Amino acid sequence: MKKINLLFFLTALISQVLFGGHLATASNGDKNQPFAQGDYRWVVEGFDWGPAVNKVILSLGENVKEAKANQYQVYATRSLEGVEISAESASGTRSVTYAYVSDENGNRVEEGQHITLVLTVSPTLPLGSPFQYARINNRGSNYWVDYKLTVIHTGSGQVWNNPVGKVMPLVDQFDLSKKFKYGDNLSMSYATYTPTTKTKAPLIIWLHGGGEGGDDPTIALLGNKAANYASPEIQVLFGGAHVLVPQAPTFWMQAAEGMTRGQENDIYNEALFALIQEYVSSNPNIDPKRIYMGGCSNGGYMSLKLIIEHPDYFAAGFISALAYHNEYISDAQIKKIKNVPMWFIHSKDDPTTVADLTAIPLYKRLKDAAAKNVVFSLYDHVTDITGFYGGENYRYNGHWSWIYSHANEARTDYDGSPVFLNGRPTTIMEWMAAQRKK
């Protein structure tokens, strides 16, 4: 490693503080750029609470066989044009948990020219997030921030502050390149994952919440952990499954004027269903008897809307934090959808989509209508399912009940009893994989 003096060390750090160094806003495919000494590549993964920059890959320019975490200091800055970010969320040091020798994409090797630093992340560490929720043009959404790093090896003084892109595990397995055009004025971005299986495979459709609209489907995949439907842990339950994640240009509940909760029509459901039909027809290895419709909050509204409009099309629904108000669902619509298998997830303390106005009365009406396959995982609170941050004693925002869907952790019915499938306790994804249209 090249040597530099203490003055240069301090100059590099001050430069990062004052001027932010280089801008790390590279696109999904830029991880294939040349990767030379002094360059770094950051890694973004989805967690229960959202995305985080959890690793940084350093290019050394020479072979090494070991790496020591305590020899590196990492400084980060976050900024978003036109948005004020609080000081503690805008800049500071990142803690290095672990270090290992890797290839240029962060895969561990015995000997190589790269080192990967594993950074501490948590739901209470906004400095680790590459997203910022902000109101721009009178609409609240998640946006990629300009995320910049300076990494310093304290022994030699070597500095890494030149970004050459990012790695996004799971997200990088999705095709993000396509857009769907409907009518004269509507264009919709979407992400797709294609399994390797050669046989007919089911299709999982996920619709994001109100803060993930726009024209960049990475926001819809990472804003909440939706990319996890392509994870090996979930894919194996389906024997491989296609995943389709459409993105609303604004938000799914947009009406001709303002926002609908079901009292009037939205502006997107016709275009969205046309997108789904086109995707299925252009992928003949999708099993049309196993198309699953799910979403959270705004996306939960739209999922239910499509099931109401097209009850014979979907094999099952999986809906978290439902935003469709029960009062706007007619008895005739209940009769239409009562035979569609559905699994609802909600929290009693949801402050945004109040369960007593949405999922609870809908579930009871479906049961009263003799729906034979409807499940409702109702939680007191949304808590830390990993145990890293306090387990049941750590509470997320009660609106975030989709955590239990993405992690395949929902496993109880309305009364708290286990859900059974073929005589044994099951989870939401295992249950869904067993649903098939007759």
Task: Kindly report, residue by residue over 162-205, the tens digit of the pLDDT.
Answer: 999 999 999 999 999 999 999 999 999 999 999 999 899 999 99
pLDDT at 320 (0 to 100): 98
Longest dimension (CA), the chain: 77
33 pLDDT higher than 60: yes
Task: Kindly report, residue by residue over 375-420, the tens digit of the pLDDT.
Answer: 999 999 999 999 999 999 999 999 999 999 999 999 999 999 999 9
pLDDT at 3 (0 to 100): 38
Q: Which stretch of 33-37, 106-110, 304-308 has the lowest confidence by average pLDDT?
A: 33-37
Task: Kindly report, residue by residue over 81-113, the tens digit of the pLDDT.
Answer: 999 999 999 999 999 999 999 999 999 999 999
User: CA torsion sign, 403 to 407 to 412 to 416?
Assistant: negative
Domains of the chain plus CATH, in order, are 6-167 (2.60.40.2180), 171-433 (3.40.50.1820)
Task: Kindly report, residue by residue over 246-257, the tens digit of the pLDDT.
Answer: 999 999 999 999
pLDDT at 210 (0 to 100): 96
Q: Which string of DSSP letters, residue by residue, matches 156-222?
A: T--EE-EEEEEE-TTGGGSB---EEEETTTEEEEEEEE--S-SS-EEEEEEE--TTS-SS-HHHHHH
pLDDT at 9 (0 to 100): 40
